[in-house]
Amino acid sequence: MKVETGLSETPVGDIPSQEASRADQPPDGWRLWWLAIRPRTLTISVAPVVAGTALAWHDSGHLDPRPLLASLAGALAIQAGTNLFNDVGDALRGGDQPMRQGPPRVTALGWASPERVRRAALTCFALAALVGLYLVWLGGWPILALGVASLVAGWGYSGGPRPIAYTALGEIFVVAFFGVGAVGGAYYLQTLTLTPAAVVAGIAIGLAAAAVLMANNYRDMEPDRLAGRRTLAILAGAESSKLIYGMLLMAPMALLAGPWGVPGGLITLGAAPLALFLFRRFVSEPRGPAFNSILAATARLQLVVAGLLAVGLVMVK
């Protein structure tokens, strides 16, 4: 899921701090690309696959590990490629301003050329397409349509004449592809059908992922405005963004535990204390580097919700 998919910021702690703080001493080899794909929030791709597969097992009584593993690999490849396209796209458009509070971006700092980062992004998308061919063989044309849409959206998030990341549609993008699409796709690959419960679960998991994007865009409101972005955080303003973030945190549990929710969804209320703690930090801490840890913790909350849902589905089976 500006997934950085907007989405996917990586705290500086993922590489030695001295390397992260000096553009003339970049990380090399795998450390460079580990930083570039922003691994701390790649769980945004894992959580919906876990939720969708667990719900499919509950409904069908069987689990095929082949689409599960392939879905995880494909989702991670798409998100990594999206993040790399975002890295190079923001650098070329001037989106990575010096005022930006997030972790280092490899293109903007000159640690890798735009061409090199773009090739890496295309490599990730090619790997996702190869995995996707296998998933299409298993699931047919609905999976083909979902896969093509995901690849196009991953490129369009930061590319094209009007990137999604520069508009207020980012959160909708995240709910659609890191929620409904990913959960529904994982469910369909196990059952070859789609149920209302799978859609509800997809919306819930997607809203939790959208909270990650809101944290990212709220942190970078000032530099984003200078770069010409019109994100939801900018349009809503600081105070309304706090309320939106809080709703995005709590809505998944309300959906999953409510009467219209998912079997076993009541257990996801166990994540409420973590959500309240994150909301308190969001409204009380000033925007700045501290929000990098809030962003990563928000991504972990989404995975916790998905994990609790899976446990609940096992318990009520």
In this prediction, residues 127-135 reach a mean pLDDT of 95
94 pLDDT more than 90: no
Q: Closest Cα to residue 41, out of 222, 208, 280, 231?
A: 208
The residues near 18 (Cβ < 8 Å, ≥ 6 apart) are: 25
Domain assignments of the chain as residue spans, ordered by start: 12-315
What is the rounded distance in angstroms from the CA atom of residue 300 to the CA atom of residue 305? 9
DSSP 271: G
**Higher pLDDT, residue 33 or 56:** 56
C-beta of residue 246 within 8 angstroms of C-beta of residue 75: no
What sign results for the dihedral spanned by CA atoms 219, 35, 183, 60?
negative
In this prediction, residues 15-21 reach a mean pLDDT of 38
- Contacts by 229-235, CB closer than 8 A, 24 or more apart: 229/2, 229/95, 229/165, 229/166, 229/167, 230/166, 230/167, 230/168, 231/2, 231/6, 231/165, 231/166, 231/167, 231/168, 231/170, 232/168, 232/170, 232/171, 234/168, 235/168
The residues near 297 (Cβ < 8 Å, ≥ 6 apart) are: 274, 278
CA end-to-end distance (rounded Å), the chain: 30
Model pLDDT for residues 217-275, shown as the tens digit of each residue: 999 898 888 888 899 999 999 999 999 999 999 999 999 998 887 999 999 999 999 99
What is the rounded distance in angstroms from the CA atom of residue 185 to the CA atom of residue 148? 13
What is the rounded distance in angstroms from the CA atom of residue 100 to the CA atom of residue 28? 23
Residue 187 confidence (pLDDT): 98
- C-alpha 220: how far from its chain's center? 17
Q: Closest Cα to residue 150, out of 91, 70, 77?
A: 77
**Higher pLDDT, residue 108 or 113:** 113
C-beta of residue 101 within 8 angstroms of C-beta of residue 219: yes
C-beta of residue 150 within 8 angstroms of C-beta of residue 3: no
Residue 9 confidence (pLDDT): 41
C-beta of residue 196 within 8 angstroms of C-beta of residue 263: no
Tokens of 114: 């735009």
What sign results for the dihedral spanned by CA atoms 210, 179, 157, 22?
positive
Task: Describe the chain by its helix, strand, coil percentages, rounded to 5.
Answer: 75, 0, 25
Identity of the residue numbered 140: G
What is the rounded distance in angstroms from the CA atom of residue 48 to the CA atom of residue 28? 32
Helix ranges restricted to H, 220-290: 221-226, 232-236, 238-257, 272-284
Residue 110 confidence (pLDDT): 83
C-beta of residue 45 within 8 angstroms of C-beta of residue 78: yes
Q: Closest Cα to residue 210, out of 7, 11, 2, 4?
A: 7
DSSP 67: H
Lowest mean pLDDT among 22-26, 118-122, 128-132, 170-174: 22-26
Residue 21 confidence (pLDDT): 42
Residue 105 confidence (pLDDT): 78
Strands (E) in the chain, as ranges, are none
1 pLDDT more than 50: no
Model pLDDT for residues 34-69, shown as the tens digit of each residue: 888 888 889 999 999 999 999 999 999 999 999 999
